């Protein structure tokens, strides 16, 4: 009971169950915390990042996950392969891969000073990778600056979706 589980924050998409439901007053493009809090944007400091892989097929409900991009997670009953290297879902086909690279992030909401977890994958993967590049070019460690995290609507063909965007870098002095 005394273990602390950091809340999980997600960027709500138009196709998300949360955007369609009546339980929470949230719209596509907002961030929703597992605590029920809703944000248009957040000032955050990233304190930890690691890569994972994630696969889910909604048609067959097959799923697999790797927390280290090497081996399937122990919680997966029937992994796609013994290792990620052997998995057929890891292959790139037409600039896509069924098993998505994921940045698993622990950050701090600078307004409430509360830690939370968030994942950046698929369409938000590249913007977060850009954030990491900006931090490196500024020669700042992850926890060396706070940044405003918001979302932007993107369109590709007939699809519209939101991606995370990062701006207003502020160096953390203390």
Residues 87-120: tens digit of each pLDDT:
888 888 887 788 888 999 999 999 999 999 999 9
**How many whole angstroms separate alpha carbon 127 and alpha carbon 162?**
11
For the purposes of burial, counting CB atoms within 10 Å of the CB of 133, is it exposed (0-12), middle (13-18) or buried (19 or more)?
A: exposed
Q: Name the pTM for this structure.
A: 0.84
pLDDT averaged over every residue in the chain: 88
**How many whole angstroms separate alpha carbon 15 and alpha carbon 94?**
24
pLDDT (0 to 100) of residue 104: 94
pLDDT (0 to 100) of residue 1: 57
pLDDT (0 to 100) of residue 26: 82
Q: Residue 53 is encoded by which pair of tokens?
A: 């892989």
Residue 154 clears pLDDT 60, i.e. is over it:
yes
Q: pLDDT category, 20, cuts 50, 70, 90?
A: low
- 31-33 vs 96-97, strand pairing mode: unpaired
Instruction: Please write down the HEC assignment for all residues of the chain.
Output: CCCCCCCEEEECCCCCHHHHCCCCCCCCCCEEECCCCEECCEEEEEEEEEEEEEEEECCCCEEEEECCCCCCCCCCCCCCCCCCCCCHHHCEECCEECCEEEEEEEEEECCCCEEEEEEEEHHHHHHHHHHHHHHHHCCCCHHHEEEEEEEEEEEECCEEEEEEEEEEEEECCC
pLDDT, tens digit, 9 for 90 and up, residues 53-98:
998 877 777 788 899 989 998 888 888 889 989 988 888 888 778 8
Q: Residue 107 is encoded by which pair of tokens?
A: 């950050």
């Amino acid at each position: 009971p005394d273990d602390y589980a950091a809340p999980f924050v997600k960027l709500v998409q138009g196709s998300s169950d949360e955007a369609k439901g009546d339980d929470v007053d949230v719209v596509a493009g907002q961030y929703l915390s597992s605590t029920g809090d809703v944000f248009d944007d957040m000032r955050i400091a990233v304190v930890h990042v690691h890569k994972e892989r994630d696969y889910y097929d909604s048609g067959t409900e097959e799923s697999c996950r790797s927390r280290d991009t090497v081996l399937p997670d122990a919680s997966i009953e029937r992994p796609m392969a013994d290792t990620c290297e052997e998995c057929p879902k890891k292959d790139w086909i037409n600039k896509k891969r069924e098993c998505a690279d994921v940045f698993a992030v622990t950050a701090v909401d600078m307004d409430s000073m509360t830690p939370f977890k968030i994942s950046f994958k698929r369409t938000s993967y590249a913007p977060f990778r850009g954030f990491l590049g900006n931090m490196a070019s500024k020669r700042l460690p992850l926890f060396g600056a706070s940044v405003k995290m918001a979302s932007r609507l993107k369109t590709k063909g007939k699809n519209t979706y939101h991606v995370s965007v990062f701006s207003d870098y502020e160096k953390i002095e203390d």
